[in-house]
Amino acid sequence: MVLCLVPHFLSLPRHPHSKHLDCRNYPHRTVVKPVCVFRPPILAATREEAAGLRVFVVSDLHTDYSENMTWVRGLSRERHRNDVLLVAGDVAETYNNFVLTMSLLKDTFEHVFYVPGNHDLWCRHDDHSCFDSLQKLEKLLDACQRIGVETKPVILDGLGIIPLISWYHESFDREMDVTGFHIPPLEMACKDFHACKWPDGLTNDENSLALYFDAMNDKNKGLVKEIKSVCSQIISFSHFLPRQELCPEKRMLFYPKLPKIIGSDFLESRIRSIHGTKGSVSACHVFGHTHFCWDALLDGIRYVQAPLAYPRERKRRMNGGEDWLPFCIYHAGTFAERLSPCYWCDYYAKNPRTPDFTQLAPWVARFYSRLP
């Protein structure tokens, strides 16, 4: 993800289903102990013996961390030589790590697809051949073409695969803000505001970046139209979130302003233009960015996140370990069973969102001082 200042901003320190915890009300503050609750492993969704196209998904590889690069190196070529991998952004900050990672993945999988994440477009440590983040994007897409990584829509064995480029905008967040605490502004907490460089006319202040990135998908309109006419099963994927319901509510988050830098309404419109306003039993969208594993059906479309995330987050079993990754979402014409356990997603399957209740969760409140 993108945040600094407070360590483990995104890592939620306790199981949302704790019997001690009613996340909508916090009368039990003294009962909840500030310790990690053991999280059972998520089981890998694979059926090794049967033949047929297998599609795996993963996001947020962050291979600037050597542990994550080691994880990529450890993927089995033998097991995946006929498989497809969708990489939903945030591969690496540096160009060299990006190229190495995508080359390793292409050596492992028969087909690799990619959409850019925010970290991929940071210009902090790269040489000066990239003046801004758009030039870096172009360089990354050129590298993908050289390596053989797909960045455009394709049909594979009757399955449509559609990468969607996107960027976030602040107005994506429509839920009530948490007030009364010293919560750092986005410019202080989000490294994108310093590490990404944009040409004149593009800023994080309004919708300009989100619109600009969304418009990049227009060049694939013909391919998407063809896929829609031919394929009954389609997987689309992006780095950012298309719906706010795919992230916990602000009061649960270590950085309560997070929903302002995670998603795009334009992305959701594009997804609906592909899968239909009502979706279908075969409509699936994969995303990344927030580092929370997720698997939810919203208005007829299945939304899935399967993030590798940071080593420290895996150590704390934020998403039930790493043995289930990459997640096999599709095999021989059939979509995988719902990811389980899926922590915060499971919590919201049982509890309604109550965003008007803005009292910080106890594990969040201890990080912030009250305004006078």
C-beta separation of 60 from 289 below 8 A? yes
Minimum CB distance to Fe ion smaller for 238 or for 282? 238
Query: Across 197-355, where does the E strand assignment appear?
Result: 233-237, 283-287, 294-298, 301-305, 327-331, 334-335
62 interacts with Fe ion by CB under 5 A: no
| Separation CA 328–CA 331 (nearest Å) | 7
Beta strand 159-163 with 283-287: parallel, antiparallel or unpaired?
unpaired
Shortest separation between residue 258's beta carbon and Fe ion, angstroms: 11
Question: 347, exposed or middle or buried, with CB in 10 Å at 0-12, 13-18, 19+?
Answer: middle
Binding residue for Fe ion, selected from 118, 133, 204, 305, defined by CB under 5 A: 118
Q: Interacting stretch for Fe ion, rule CB under 5 A, among 83-91, 154-162, 264-272, 274-282?
A: 83-91
CB of 76 to Fe ion, least distance (A): 27
State yes or no: residue 259 binds Fe ion (CB under 5 A).
no
Q: Under the criterion CB under 5 A, does residue 242 sit at the interface with Fe ion?
A: no
**Which of 90, 346 has the CB closer to Fe ion?**
90
SS3 (DSSP) at 160: strand
Q: From CA 305, how far away is CA 237, in angstroms rounded?
A: 10
Minimum CB separation from Fe ion for residue 288, in Å? Answer: 6
Binding mask 270-299 for Fe ion (x = CB under 5 A): -------------------x----------
191 in contact with Fe ion (CB under 5 A): no
106 contributes a contact to Fe ion by CB under 5 A: no
Contact between 68 and Fe ion by CB under 5 A: the answer reads no
**241, β-bridge pairs:** 263
Which residue lies nearer to Fe ion by CB, 224 or 262?
Answer: 262
Instruction: Decide if residue 116 touches Fe ion (CB under 5 A).
Output: no
Nearest to 45 by CA among 340, 346, 345, 336: 336
The torsion angle over the Cα atoms of residues 307, 312, 315 and 316, rounded to 10 degrees, is: -90
Altogether, the residues listed in the chain come to a count of 372
Nearer to Fe ion, 11 or 282 (CB): 11
User: Closest CB to Fe ion among 167 and 368?
Assistant: 167
Quick check: helix, strand or coil at residue 155?
strand
Using CB under 5 A, pick the residue from 116, 117, 256, 259 that binds Fe ion. 117
| Min separation Cβ 257 and Fe ion, Å | 15
Strand partners, 296: 303
Residues that bind Fe ion (CB under 5 A): 90, 117-118, 289
